[in-house]
Structure 1
């Protein structure tokens, strides 16, 4: 089996080289191979130079690089990466250091056991390190997850998680529309409509960052997420 690791990047010059190194170093369980697909969403800093430097220093690592000439948003970068994926499964890895690539194997476990089509990594299931940051962000996340569950008849604990391990053929067959952070509720709603799909959720670590450290999501994205939950949950 092959896993496609999709890395959308926008102005991540401080972290993108480090996350590429960590992803490249991960040894996947069950003889799973990997490909790394990086989409630079028209960064205005040295993100591209850092990616090129990593490629030059690591010619044996399978890194496929794409660049948007116009900024399209995180969802738009993910759409590009999805179209390029050739693995049996895919997962999104943010270009910051909030999520730990060593935990890919935790998400792969239900897949390798033959019981899952989709595995979400939950930051709220407990048992793993979780940086303490913003109270209202946590409340907002719980509200969005609850609304998504209600519209999609699921019982997830973390709909907004970056770590969504999905069968590639399923997500490539979807007409995905959301260009920013609305990708999360949209893909969740569309996955939930697939007949007999097998959803799993596992606990993961979370090393969150502050806005001073580069966090980009804001309150406007929260309202957009509510719109997406209603739109894709009601209108099919």
Structure 2
């Protein structure tokens, strides 16, 4: 436990020195608020650039708070995930490639403590950035459109946050498989894309897929009903994360012993 705490502090301090605790939340805040704010001020933006052509009629659709928060989630699901993958792709692979991992593991440091410290520190950065960005989005959506009840918003925050936990865990897993950060990033993104495509193709049979977390969470916002599908997707996601972590430790230990 003491090893894990020491390594987590080291990772958190490293992220602070790299200014990740500053720029990652700022970028995510911009992503989360960009679409809702730009959609609200679209008429003024059109007027500023000369308006619509003569004879053209554009009726602004009525946007609800749920519609606006969906815009934020859409941005975080694409560009946000890309950022998370980029900041995590060298977490272990980079240290293995440079030989730093071997120097750390020469000391009486367990493989479990090493992997779990990387996962914990990265998860802290990702989740804090995600929560802060969504809080900004919730506030601006409330000011411009309508406030989503705080209880409903917090449940959305929790369930959708599981998807980002899976992304981080996938990245850690591929960090133990490959020594190249580029391969880690490619494999993580490819896995997410394949999972999303397969889920969309076999939606009813894969109703508990982690890729459905956002859809089920938004359905909860619309209906106020925590469906069995939402709980099932959450349990599936947590189970996959646990299995990937155990597998990561086993693979890393096996590869390091072999080398």
- Classify the TM-score, shorter chain: under 0.3
For the pair shown, which has the larger CA radius of gyration, 1 or 2? 2
Q: As a proportion of its length, which structure holds more helix?
A: 2
Given the two structures, how large is their TM-score scaled by the length of structure 1?
0.27
Please report the TM-score for the alignment, with normalisation by the length of structure 2: 0.25
